[in-house]
């Protein structure tokens, strides 16, 4: 590694980015084995670059930050990728993420009778695969499944804890469900300035158009295939298979806004709370990049924008269904700001809300 002033400046910037984005201590992997990272620093010996202090089995050691594998799509993974690129190293292969041993909760992570917060990773018939919030440590929660979805943060008071086949399990009831995209450790979706496909960008002094990039497919990522197959299953009315495919897409990448929108549409008529959860989480994840103060547009003509736009429309409709009219109108107005061409008929939705129509009246209108 060179020792120029520019190199020192870059190391300092990377160290500051890691300090700002990575909450320590945090879980990670080194050579496929789970470790706890407690410190990241640059060293005065420039050849050593950035170092990470890791703990495993009661032993602490220091190694190159470039060798630390953080969860995919996390802020830590993003910074390591930047550091490896600066060093001239290839990115971690998708296979390295797949073979890393998942860290399990420890006995002192959970106290029976004391509430804990868990991030739901996947839903099964009678159990939730969860991660202890603020860590990468996983467990399976046996509980009565209600309206939990992948990406939800749930509060649980554990009644019983046990281990089977070296995997930890808990039982307990879900006391509360909340959504906070900022606590999920996700890398915000990229945003690109684009020409509007309809040719109106920049005309008449209008706001610029952007494209909200969908998650980039990895070497073994088949998310796009899952979405296409799910659309075919919807047309064939194979709802069980549809739900399984879309949940698999979210297990690959929780930022798949199209999957959230499709699942929300699936449940809007029969399970509005579940639909609301999907729409709300999709909007929250998109808002990590495009917040309420965003001054540009996201034209429907850019296919990558459609997941967030559909989640906003669905959120407005489901809020109307449960009688939260002001919030429903706010979501519809935001949708109209993002695409004033109004392909999803936010104007008509707003008019219906302002006129006092119910969700049922809106759905049965010609």
Are 193 and 163 a contacting pair, CB within 8 Å?
A: no
Question: Looking at the domain 107-178, which fold is it?
Answer: OB fold (Dihydrolipoamide Acetyltransferase, E2P) (2.40.50)
pTM of whole model > 0.85? no
Q: Which helix (H) or strand (E) holds 141?
A: strand 138-142
CA dist list (Å): 47 to 1, 17, 42, 106, 214: 5, 20, 10, 37, 37
Q: Which two tokens stand for residue 20?
A: 């700002």
Q: How far apart are CA 201 and CA 296, in angstroms?
A: 10
Residue 157 has pLDDT above 80, yes or no: yes
* Residue 116 burial (CB count, 10 A): 19
Please give the average per-residue pLDDT across 248-255, as a whole number. 87
The string of pLDDT tens digits covering residues 199-249 is 444 445 678 999 998 876 654 568 888 999 999 999 999 999 999 899 888
- Mean of pLDDT over the chain: 85
Domain chopping of the chain, boundaries:
5-99, 107-178, 191-364
Q: How far apart are CA 80 and CA 99, in angstroms?
A: 18
Please give the average per-residue pLDDT across 131-150, as a whole number. 82
Are 311 and 286 a contacting pair, CB within 8 Å?
A: yes
Length of the chain: 366
Instruction: Write down the pLDDT at residue 9.
Output: 84
Residue 69 has pLDDT above 60, yes or no: yes
The CATH number of the domain covering residues in 191-364: 1.25.40.10
Closest CA to 172 of 152, 155, 156: 156
Residue 97 has pLDDT above 70, yes or no: no
């Amino acid at each position: 590694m060179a020792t120029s002033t520019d190199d020192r400046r870059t190391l300092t910037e990377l160290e500051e980015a890691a300090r700002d984005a990575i909450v320590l201590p945090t879980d990670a992997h080194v050579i496929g084995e789970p470790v706890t990272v407690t410190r990241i620093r640059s060293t005065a010996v420039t050849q050593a670059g950035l170092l990470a202090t890791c703990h495993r089995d009661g032993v602490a050691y220091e190694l190159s930050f470039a060798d630390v594998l953080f969860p995919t799509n996390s802020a830590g993974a993003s910074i390591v990728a930047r550091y490896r690129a600066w060093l001239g190293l290839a990115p971690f292969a998708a296979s390295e993420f797949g073979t890393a041993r998942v860290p399990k909760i420890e006995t002192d992570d959970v106290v029976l009778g004391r509430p804990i917060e868990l991030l739901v990773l996947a839903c099964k018939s009678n159990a939730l695969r969860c991660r202890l919030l603020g860590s990468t440590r996983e467990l399976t929660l046996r509980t009565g499944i209600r309206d939990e979805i992948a990406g939800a943060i749930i509060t649980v008071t554990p009644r019983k804890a046990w281990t089977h086949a070296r995997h930890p399990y808990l039982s307990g009831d879900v006391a509360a469900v909340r959504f906070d995209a900022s606590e999920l450790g996700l890398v915000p979706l990229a945003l690109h300035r684009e020409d509007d496909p309809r040719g109106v960008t920049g005309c008449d002094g209008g706001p610029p158009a952007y494209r909200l990039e969908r998650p980039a497919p990895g070497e073994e990522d088949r998310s796009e295939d899952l979405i296409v197959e799910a659309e075919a299953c919807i047309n064939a009315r194979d709802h069980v298979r549809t739900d399984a495919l879309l949940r698999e897409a979210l297990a690959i990448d929780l930022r798949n806004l199209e999957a959230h929108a499709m699942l929300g549409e699936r449940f809007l008529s029969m399970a509005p709370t579940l639909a609301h959860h999907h729409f709300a989480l999709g909007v929250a994840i998109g808002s990590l990049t495009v917040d309420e103060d965003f001054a540009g547009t996201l034209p429907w003509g850019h296919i990558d924008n459609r997941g967030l736009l559909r989640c906003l429309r669905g959120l407005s409709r489901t809020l109307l269904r449960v009688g939260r009219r002001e919030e429903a109108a706010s979501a519809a107005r935001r949708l109209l700001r993002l695409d004033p061409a109004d392909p999803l008929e936010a104007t008509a939705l707003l008019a219906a809300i302002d006129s006092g129509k119910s969700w049922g009246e809106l759905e049965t209108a010609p």
